[in-house]
Structure 1
Amino acid sequence: MLDALVGEGIAEVAQRLGTTAHTLRYYESAGLLVRPPGRDASGRRSYDAADVRWIETVQRLRATGMPVRAVRAYADLCRAGAGTEADRLDLLRAHRERVRADLDRTAAHLAAIEAKIEGYEETVRSRV
């Protein structure tokens, strides 16, 4: 799928990634991209496969609750290049721990909901 995105404009990339052109422009202006997308002969944004992979990473980080400032810090480290890998690793490991804690809390909430459902199902079955 990514090969099909090479050289596509902002509207096409936004649609394929399930986001909006506004969000992609925001990612760029907020410093969340490792590099700004290229431009075509008319000056319009033109995304290549690497741009799309990075945007997918940003989407995943944001969807898992990473704050914008942390995504920006990660992008800054990636832009800085070699020698920043240990810092990137630290940032991602810390985020992984937050995500795992969120999953544990969600699992506990789900277990409580399932217990309630089981109780109501038993009540309904006993009345039939």
Structure 2
Amino acid sequence: MATGIAGDQVRLTILEASRRCGLSEPTLRYYEQIGLVGPVPRDPSSGHRRYDAATMDVLDSLGCLRSAGLRVEDLRRYLGLLARGDAAAAEQRELFDGQADRLEAEIERLRLRLDYLRLKARLWDARDRGDTDAARRLVPRLLALIDRF
């Protein structure tokens, strides 16, 4: 960690901040540009950004939420609701329940794709072994999965 501009207070460079929160450097700049995080203080000697603890707390949360699939507009909504505290608890619950539902549907779609790939591998294995009966039995199962996509 780099030492900061305010005495012995520790502040992170953009590279350090990026590694810690899991968001890319361009994403950190973008989030600052669109106002998801406030203006990041600059080192007076270099002009480089220095991320303080409060900003890192926000970025850590945004990084986790982004990795859970929340869109930028959802992140903006989250921060707005967060500023309202407990008065926005029901809306926060709705935001996270909605994303959990979307993620659950995505997981189901991925499970279907995984099942399809496994069955395709079994089909080609049966063909490789010359087991036409096994291959023939797998085709209807594959077609049934395709219908569920």
Q: Compute the TM-score of the two structures, normalised by the length of structure 1.
A: 0.74
1:94 to 98, 117, 123: 98
With over 3 angstroms needed to count, the CA separation of the structure-2 counterparts of 1:55 and 1:97, relative to structure 1, is same
1:84 aligns with 2:91: no
With over 3 angstroms needed to count, the CA separation of the structure-2 counterparts of 1:102 and 1:50, relative to structure 1, is farther
The equivalent residue for 1:3 is none
Contact preservation (8 Å) 1:65, 1:99: yes
> 1:91-121 CA deviation, whole Å, 9 max, x = no partner?
1111111111111111111111111011112
Q: How many Å separate the matches in 2 of 1:64 and 1:51?
A: 20
- Structure with the bigger RCO (C-alpha within 8 Å, sep 6+) is 1
With over 3 angstroms needed to count, the CA separation of the structure-2 counterparts of 1:116 and 1:49, relative to structure 1, is farther
With over 3 angstroms needed to count, the CA separation of the structure-2 counterparts of 1:64 and 1:45, relative to structure 1, is same
Shift of 1:44: 4.2
4+ residue segments displaced more than 6 Å: none
Q: How many Å separate the matches in 1 of 2:96 and 2:20?
A: 26
| Identical counterparts, % of pairs | 30
Secondary structure at the residue paired with 1:39? Answer: coil
Which range moves more in the overlay, 50-59 or 77-86? 50-59
Q: How many Å separate the matches in 1 of 2:99 and 2:18?
A: 26
1:24 aligns with 2:28: yes
Contact preservation (8 Å) 2:14, 2:50: yes
1:39 aligns with 2:41: yes
With over 3 angstroms needed to count, the CA separation of the structure-2 counterparts of 1:124 and 1:51, relative to structure 1, is farther
**Aligned pairs, how many?**
120
Gaps of 5+ in 1: 1-5
